[in-house]
Amino acid sequence: MDGTKRSNINIGDTVIVVQKQHQTSGILTKGVVKKILTNSATHPHGIKVLLESGIVGRVK
């Protein structure tokens, strides 16, 4: 899956994200998409999503 395209991500999908505070270390978190936060069709660093666990991150 290409995490830079909004059309590839749907609510309910299981994704792997990197949180803002983990961008330098590269620690990844797995979760289910609750809400898509990026409005544009693409984003070079990944589409920002809210997971059901409350974590916000960019899809990798």
- Is 12 strand, coil or helix? coil
pLDDT in tens, 23-55: 999 999 999 999 999 999 999 999 999 999 999
What is the topology classification, in CATH, of domain 6-59?
A: SH3 type barrels. (2.30.30)
Confidence (pLDDT) at 1: 75
Half-sphere exposure (Cβ direction) of 23: Cα atoms closer than 13 Å: 9
Q: Using an 8 Å Cβ cutoff, are 52 and 9 in contact?
A: no
Q: How far apart are CA 16 and CA 19, in angstroms?
A: 10
Q: What is the pTM of this model?
A: 0.92
